């Protein structure tokens, strides 16, 4: 049995708690959060060191604001506990590199939660791209999103704005689908929150991709749309779900998920696969270094925007 200690009981933390509850080989050892809901069915602690000593976890999930991730993840790794860290992994490539180096030095696994990679329809698309069944010429991600608030809107705490907070998911998924691209153009506005991004990439396979996202609404959240198209075929997604397919095989059915998994079934899959990896004494499916290409590309875009 893998006993997970969840650090941070906000939106993402609650998703992980709900997912742990659905995994046969996992259980919730405790939660670290100063403001945690006392109805959580596990001990609640106000600091990580005490939680590790008293709850005896097998592994730790870090689901805190970005500015706290490096220190907390480092403490857990130094205690010999595998760590699963919420994206974007700290506030910068440099901080992520520090964490990856510590993981390598201690031989303690450190993974990353990238639920978009774990969605069944994202995996279905990757399989078609890699098998050559579908060769899109254009991929477009677009969304009108609510404005960043709280710590997300503070660049000193988050390490950026919309690009790092939301855009990282879609930069990473493009790299995961198609490999390293060339950056064709990047326009950020709304500094320091960069609450509007328009980025274009070119890939060696002949595909062009664009990410267009604007934080224009005060409240509410809508799904990110994605279209993949060639002259003869087309896929349209809303959020994690394929909603239409033209001239391609039908996608597999979506998984059913329990209550509390409001980011979709990918979070469930992340916890299932991370738990299985620990049971089998294997590395996590996505390590910190696996996210380096996306993180370095984000740093390149930010550096260009500041120059």
**Could you tell me which CATH number the domain at 2-114+266-291 has?**
3.40.50.720
Alpha-carbon span 161 to 155, nearest angstrom:
6
Give the global pTM: 0.94
Alpha-carbon span 251 to 249, nearest angstrom:
6
In 14-151, DSSP assigns E strands to 26-32, 44-45, 59-62, 83-86, 110-113, 138-146
pLDDT at 219: 62
pLDDT at 307: 54
Count each helix (H run) and each strand (E run) in the chain, helices first: 11, 13
pLDDT at 147: 85
**Cα–Cα separations (whole angstroms), residue 141 to 118, 131, 197:** 18, 22, 11
Alpha-carbon span 109 to 52, nearest angstrom:
17
Beta strands 234-238 and 241-246, pairing class: antiparallel
Task: Write down the domain spans for the chain.
Answer: 2-114+266-291, 116-244+293-306
Concatenated DSSP letters of 53-91: HHH--SEEEE-S-HHHHHHHHHHHHHTT--EEEETT-SS
Alpha-carbon span 44 to 71, nearest angstrom:
20
Topology (CATH level 3) of domain 116-244+293-306 = Dihydrodipicolinate Reductase; domain 2 (3.30.360)
**What angle do the packed helices 168-178 and 120-131 form, to 10 degrees?**
30
pLDDT at 33: 92
Length in residues, the chain = 307
Residue ranges for the chain with pLDDT beneath 70: 36-38, 217-221, 258-259, 306-307
């Amino acid at each position: 049995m893998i006993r997970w200690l969840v650090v941070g009981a906000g939106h993402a933390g609650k998703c992980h708690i709900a997912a742990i509850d659905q995994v046969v080989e996992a259980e919730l050892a405790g939660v670290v959060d100063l403001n945690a809901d006392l109805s959580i069915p596990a001990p609640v602690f106000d600091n990580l060191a005490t939680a590790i000593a008293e709850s005896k976890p097998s592994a730790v999930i870090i689901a805190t604001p970005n500015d706290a991730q490096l220190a907390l993840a480092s403490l857990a790794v130094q205690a010999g506990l595998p760590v699963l860290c919420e994206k974007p992994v700290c506030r910068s490539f440099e901080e992520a590199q520090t964490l990856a180096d510590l993981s390598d030095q201690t031989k303690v696994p450190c993974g990353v939660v990238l639920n978009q990679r774990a969605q069944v329809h994202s995996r279905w698309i990757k399989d078609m791209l890699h098998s050559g069944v579908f060769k899109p010429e254009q991929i477009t991600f677009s969304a009108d999103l609510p404005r960043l608030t709280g710590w997300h809107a503070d660049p000193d705490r988050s390490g950026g704005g919309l690009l790092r907070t939301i855009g990282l998911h879609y930069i990473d998924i493009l790299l995961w689908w198609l490999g390293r691209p060339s950056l064709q153009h990047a326009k950020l506005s709304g500094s320091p929150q960069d609450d509007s991004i328009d980025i274009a990439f070119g890939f060696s396979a002949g595909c062009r991709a664009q990410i267009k996202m604007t934080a224009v609404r005060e409240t509410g959240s809508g799904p990110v749309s994605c279209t993949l198209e060639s002259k003869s075929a087309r896929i349209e997604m809303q959020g994690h779900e394929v909603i239409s397919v033209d001239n391609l095989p039908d996608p597999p059915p979506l998984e059913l998920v329990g209550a509390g998994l409001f980011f979709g079934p990918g979070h469930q899959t992340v916890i299932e696969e991370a738990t299985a990896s620990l049971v089998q004494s294997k590395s996590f499916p996505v390590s910190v270094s696996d996210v380096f290409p996306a993180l370095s590309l984000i740093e390149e875009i930010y550096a260009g925007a500041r120059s």
